[in-house]
């Protein structure tokens, strides 16, 4: 086969169509390097759990120092590439500053992800130990890396936060946007097919099951029909809420009150108050108080929810 025609066509495509890694300009972070960074982050958060050989207590200080130094270097290198892409005036200085800040946050990040492990242990009767959860429950990887990426997102780092959460997405099937704000003691049971959007806010002690979506109801667009970035598009979930499998909750104005339960396959576009339960009875959506069964209300359409003038 003569490859010359295909070669020339590809070269022309590189110039005319884009989608290349910035020839003669800043190089972008590679998937391989970011995946390795994410894996090293998990080593720092859970030392001894992912080692090929046993780890002694005496070896921990030296090993942790070496890991921190290597992690800082890799993080700084990838940050600099991201900041060059964003045309930061001093990308190297800013990369070092952000890397220093992130390492300082690791101890508190460890504290928070331990609450997630505890939530999984207390929330799943099949769990036999916290060690089993750290080693075998995909929610630990997905939530831990989202929490790390969220810190990068708050510092307005481009590219890298999403690449880190995408590593967890590929491994677990759960897509947690780094922009989402998630409280402590968070548990995703079975942890597959879950989508949590950028502007979602999740309270503490929240438990969700497989297939749950916290998504956008619609997009605001500019005069050219292009979606406007940065607006609140995803729902707020109160403390101590349970959302069962394949429920879909949409909209930036949608608020799920604390201590509520959302049943499996429920589709919600409107807010519900605290201590509510939402489920389907036949084809009708029922939203009622968990405390007063006599206050049960059957809503045949989503629009009927508005008539109750609930406030969150």
Per DSSP bridges, beta strands 276-281 and 261-262 are parallel
* More reliable by pLDDT, 307 or 8: 8
Structural domain boundaries enclosing 274? 193-312
Please answer whether residues 82 and 158 qualify as being in contact, where contact means their C-beta atoms are separated by less than 8 angstroms. yes
Number of domains observed in the structure of the chain: 2
Tell me, what's the pLDDT at 273? 97
Residue 34 burial class via C-beta count within 10 angstroms: exposed 0-12, middle 13-18, buried 19 and up: buried
Q: Do 161 and 44 have their domain in common?
A: yes
- Please report the sign of the dihedral spanned by the C-alpha atoms of residue 198, residue 199, residue 202, residue 203: positive
Of 294, 293, 288, nearest in space to 276 by CA? 288
Tell me, what's the pLDDT at 107? 95
Q: Do 140 and 221 have their domain in common?
A: no
Mean pLDDT of the chain, nearest integer: 90
Tell me, what's the pLDDT at 295? 47
Q: What is the DSSP letter of 92?
A: H
Q: pLDDT digits over 50-59, tens only?
A: 888 888 888 8
Q: Do 28 and 149 have their domain in common?
A: yes
Q: Do 84 and 208 have their domain in common?
A: no
pLDDT grade for 24, boundaries at 50, 70 and 90: low
Residue 163 has pLDDT above 50, yes or no: yes
Q: Do 285 and 241 have their domain in common?
A: yes
Per DSSP bridges, beta strands 276-281 and 284-289 are antiparallel
Residue 179 has pLDDT above 50, yes or no: yes
Q: Is 282 left (phi over 0), alpha (psi -120 to 50) or beta?
A: left
Structural domain includes residue 132: yes
Of 115, 145, 173, the position where a domain reaches its end is 173
Q: What pTM did the predictor assign? A: 0.87
* More reliable by pLDDT, 161 or 224: 161
Tell me, what's the pLDDT at 278? 98
Of 228, 193, 234, nearest in space to 210 by CA? 193
Three-state DSSP at 192 gives coil
Structural domain includes residue 49: yes
Average pLDDT over residues 12-24: 70
Structural domain includes residue 3: no
Average pLDDT over residues 204-230: 89
Q: Do 206 and 144 have their domain in common?
A: no
* More reliable by pLDDT, 174 or 5: 174
Q: Which helix (H) or strand (E) holds 153?
A: helix 138-154
Q: What is the DSSP string of 206-237?
A: -EE-TT-EEE-S---B-TTSPBPTTS--S-EE
Residue 286 has pLDDT above 50, yes or no: yes
Tell me, what's the pLDDT at 48? 87
Number of neighbouring beta carbons within 10 Å of residue 146: 25
Q: Do 217 and 251 have their domain in common?
A: yes
Q: Say which CATH number the domain at 72 has.
A: 1.10.3130.10
Structural domain includes residue 128: yes
Structural domain includes residue 184: no
Of 114, 138, 173, the position where a domain reaches its end is 173
Tell me, what's the pLDDT at 304? 53
Structural domain includes residue 149: yes
Tell me, what's the pLDDT at 22? 59
Q: Do 247 and 110 have their domain in common?
A: no
pLDDT grade for 99, boundaries at 50, 70 and 90: very high
Which tokens go with 18? 């884009």
Residue 267 has pLDDT above 60, yes or no: yes
- Dist CA 89 CA 105 (whole Å): 25
């Amino acid at each position: 086969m003569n490859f010359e025609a295909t070669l020339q066509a590809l070269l022309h495509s590189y110039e005319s169509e884009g989608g290349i890694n910035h020839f003669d300009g800043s190089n972008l972070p590679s998937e391989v390097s970011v995946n390795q960074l994410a894996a090293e982050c998990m080593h720092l958060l859970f030392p001894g759990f992912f080692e090929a050989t046993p780890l002694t207590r005496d070896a921990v200080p030296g090993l942790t120092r070496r890991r921190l130094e290597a992690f800082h270097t890799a993080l700084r290198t990838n940050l600099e590439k991201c900041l060059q892409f964003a045309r930061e005036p001093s990308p190297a200085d800013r990369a070092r500053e952000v890397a220093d800040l992130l390492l300082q946050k690791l101890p508190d990040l460890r504290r928070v992800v331990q609450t997630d492990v505890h939530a999984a242990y207390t929330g799943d009767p099949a769990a036999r130990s916290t060690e089993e959860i750290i080693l075998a429950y995909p929610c630990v990887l997905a939530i831990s890396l989202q929490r790390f990426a969220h810190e990068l997102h708050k510092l307005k780092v481009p590219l890298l936060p999403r690449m880190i959460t995408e590593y967890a997405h590929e491994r677990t099937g759960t897509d947690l946007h780094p922009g989402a704000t998630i409280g402590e003691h968070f548990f995703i049971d079975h942890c597959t097919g879950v989508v949590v959007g950028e502007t979602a806010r999740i309270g503490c002690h929240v438990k969700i099951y497989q297939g749950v979506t916290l998504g956008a109801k619609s997009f605001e667009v500019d005069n050219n029909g292009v979606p406007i970035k940065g607006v609140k598009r995803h729902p707020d979930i109160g403390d101590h809420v349970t959302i069962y499998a394949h429920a879909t909750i949409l909209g930036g104005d949608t608020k799920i009150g604390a201590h509520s339960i959302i049943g499996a396959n429920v589709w919600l576009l409107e807010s519900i108050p605290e201590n509510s339960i939402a489920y389907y009875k036949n084809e009708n959506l029922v939203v009622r108080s968990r405390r007063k069964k006599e206050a049960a209300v059957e809503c045949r359409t989503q629009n009927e929810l508005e008539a109750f003038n609930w406030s969150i």
